[in-house]
Amino acid sequence: MEEAIIADQLTFAYDQLTAVDHVDFKVKEGEILSFLGPNGAGKTTTVKMLTGQLRPKEGKAVLLGMDVVQETERVQAQIGVCFEDPNLYEQMSAEENLNLFAKLFGVKDFDAAALLVRVGLDGRGKDRVETYSKGLKQRLMVARSLVNRPRILFLDEPTEGLDPVSSETIRNVILEERERGATVFLTTHDMVEADKLSDRVAFIDHGEIVALDTPHNLKQLYGKRAIKAEVARADGRLEIKEIILDNPETAEAIQELFTQEQVVTIHSEEATLEDIFIRITGRGLAG
């Protein structure tokens, strides 16, 4: 597969503050890459440089073989961007919003109604956006980013603060787009979502990528595997015991657990992406 996105030493600074610091990564066509990091880590600035909204101070971004700075218009014709906060024309209907962007992209025979069905907005196409809830607006934002059938889809916190139904709808659309062959660049600080959707995840902190791999490999590399058991004590109360796997003493400890304790429940434990992020950066994703 070809590289859909190449970030080569991408750097951007707001005055004295370096927001993105010599970031390097590649995303293959048809891949979903999640950018995980706390607020202010540099996720949105990276998206802005990749989509031609910001000019890098150093380095370059290449999308589908085109330099983003040199060929901004050609790049933007091939991408779809869903912003973090809804920026729709509220006094226009959903269909009018989509039709406007279809014209700007020069899409012929555009079917707004069909796209609205995909994001679960069927029957609401004629309503003005100002009457929509936050979840419905976000679904429309996703629909707008799909108007030109983009080869690369940038989604900036697409499910932030949404109800479960809206979040699930958007996740399904992301997976459908991957099936279609689109590359998806997803920024989020929802590690569960990233774990579910992503082929690979990148951890970004203070403008630098501190880890980049598949969720499975990251867990293998940085997570601790363990089993947790609830055992009944002599006084009838429950006690939780944790046995770390991969230690030389693991087998003996497990044998001891079952021979000397009254085991009530037992579960295997796997590190979450947030655990790994904290372990690598020393701080959580929420911050």
Using CB under 8 A as the criterion, which residues of the chain lie in contact with another protein when the complex forms? 51-53, 73-74, 76-77, 79, 81, 83, 85, 87-92, 96, 100-101, 103-106, 144, 148
- Specify whether the CB–CB gap between 135 and 144 falls below 8 A: no
Going across the sheet that includes 238-244, the strands are 238-244, 226-232, 262-269
Please report how close the Cβ of residue 67 comes to another protein at its closest, in angstroms.
16
Q: Which is nearer to another protein, 100 or 226 (CB)?
A: 100
Please report how close the Cβ of residue 99 comes to another protein at its closest, in angstroms.
8
Give the pair of three-digit tokens for residue 180.
Answer: 């279609």
Q: Which is nearer to another protein, 76 or 281 (CB)?
A: 76
Q: Which is nearer to another protein, 129 or 194 (CB)?
A: 129
Going across the sheet that includes 183-188, the strands are 79-82, 152-156, 183-188, 32-36, 200-205, 208-213
Please report how close the Cβ of residue 145 comes to another protein at its closest, in angstroms.
9
Give the pair of three-digit tokens for residue 115.
Answer: 């796209």
Q: Which is nearer to another protein, 80 or 215 (CB)?
A: 80
Please report how close the Cβ of residue 153 comes to another protein at its closest, in angstroms.
12
CA dist 230 and 238 (Å) reads 6
Please report how close the Cβ of residue 253 comes to another protein at its closest, in angstroms.
56
Q: Which is nearer to another protein, 82 or 273 (CB)?
A: 82
CA dist 251 and 248 (Å) reads 7
